[in-house]
Amino acid sequence: MELLKLLSANEIVAQVISFLLLLFILRKFLWNKFTKVLDDRRDRVASELLKIEDAKADVERIKADYNVKLDGIEKAAKEKMEEAIAEGRRISEELRQGAERDGQKMIDSAKLAIEGEISKAKDQLKDDIVDITIGIAEKVIEEKLTEGADKRIVEEFIKRIDRA
């Protein structure tokens, strides 16, 4: 009971009121404001993290798309290249065939020209032979023929033909 003398009802009441006053003040200026600040910051950090996660997922998705597109581009490029090679081959084949055709045409035309020239030459030769024959015949007619002279005329004729 001696211990209880240390207590004072008035002081207890006053201290209770003081504490309640402090609780009211701190609730208003400290707890309400700072818990709100901390909550806001926590929410903001959480939302930022969520955004980062979303951005990360977007990046992954874009990367996957990019890889798919890159593969597609590589495939398309390969196809284009193959097409170009095939086209080149086709063009070169066409050129080769065209060149062959042109060459053949030139050969054919050259052959025709040669044949023409030969024909011309033959005609010329024929004409010459005819002229010579006519000339010889004229000579034969003009001169009195002997056996020796005949032989000479024939030989001369043969020589002329050889020269022609």
Partner 1 sequence: MTETAGEKALELPNIVTILAEKAKGTPLSDFLLTWQSLIFSLIIIMLLSVIAYVASRKIKEVPGRLQAACELFVGGVDDFVRGIIGDKARIYTPFIGTLFIYILFMNLSGIVPLMKSPTSNWSTTMALTICVMLYVFYVSIKEMGVIGYIDHLLGKPRGIIAFSVFIPLMMLVLHIVSDFIARPLSLSLRLRSNIWGDDMLLAVLSGFGAKGIPLLLFNTFLVILASIVQTVVFCLLTTIYFTLVLTHEET
Residues that bind partner 1 (CB under 8 A): 3, 5-8, 11-16, 18-23, 25-27, 29-35, 37-38
For residues 136 and 154, the answer to whether their CB atoms sit within 8 Å is no
- If the CB atoms of residues 27 and 56 are measured against partner 1, the closer one turns out to be 27
Residue 3 is classified by DSSP as G
Which tokens hold the place of 143? 């001169």
Closer residue to partner 1 (CB): 21 or 134:
21
Q: How far is the CB of 52 from partner 1 (least distance, A)?
A: 19
**Cβ closer to partner 1: 26 or 118?**
26
Tell me the residue length of the chain. Answer: 164
Shortest gap between Cβ of 50 and partner 1 (angstroms)? 20
Q: In angstroms, give the least distance from the CB of 45 to partner 1.
A: 13
d(Cα 122, Cα 125) in Å, to the nearest integer?
5
Q: DSSP letters of 119-139?
A: HHHHHHHHHHHHHHHHHHHHH
